[in-house]
Amino acid sequence: MFEHKKQLLHEVKVERPNPQYAVLLQEQLGGANGELKAALQYMSQSFRIKDQEIKDLFLDIAAEELSHMEMVATTINLLNGHDVDYKTVVSGEIQGHVLGGLSPLLINSSGYSWTSDYVSCTGDLVADLLSNIASEQRAKVVYEYLYRQIEDKEVRATIDFLLNREEAHNALFREALNKVQNTGSNKDFGVTEDSKLYFDLSTPGPEHKAPDPTAPTFNNPRK
């Protein structure tokens, strides 16, 4: 069950309309590393999880990602801030002007529709956690690129909040991985003699030691 609360997770403002930048921000609404993708990926993965604590973690983060999606869509609305006029968008998607009346559609910055192909769900908790850690890292990178391309202090404040929440999710997924790192695909595969071979296919070049794989860990060595 989900509950909608009318207040945003974090206040959203813009200093002035900027429809060109609104096009860029569409990437985090309907793109491959956007908020909708994250919400549905974590929710889909949760249905198979037996550990109730980790299951709740996935669903809590998925619910927060939906609130991030709401923030992004609200920011896009404020940035558009103009009547339907394709001339105000010099490049990128124009579907919002001809299909949605400037509604933030589920499309990326190039106008391609969101697709469930973005969602990764394997049924293996270790694999899904590693995928989610990478997903949060990619989302953080996109937000960093977006941050660099806008001078609007209010938009930057929104992006800064979202970027830091992605970092929080990344840390939570890493902690969950530590708890299950010797289970599933990490328990059954990947540490035979074949996994300890290195094929030097770049000769002449620097020598590399043969790999000695172990279960991955993200524990802080300073602790």
Tell whether omega for the bond before 204 is within 30 degrees of 0, i.e. cis. Answer: yes
Taking alpha carbons only, the member of 120, 113, 109 closest to residue 72 is 109
* Rounded Cα gap, residues 171 and 132, in angstroms: 11
Q: Check the annotation: does 10 bind a ligand.
A: no
Rounded Cα distance, 94 and 84, in Å: 10
Query: Annotated binding residue at 202?
Result: yes
List 107's β-bridge partners, or say none.
113
8 A C-beta contact, residue 142 and residue 31: yes
Please indicate if the annotation marks 136 as binding a ligand.
Answer: yes
Tokens 């595969």 — which residue? Answer: 189
Residue list for the binding site for Mn(2+)? 35, 65, 68, 136, 169
Residue list for the binding site? 35, 56, 60, 65, 68, 136, 169, 202
Residue list for the binding site for Ca(2+)? 56, 60, 202
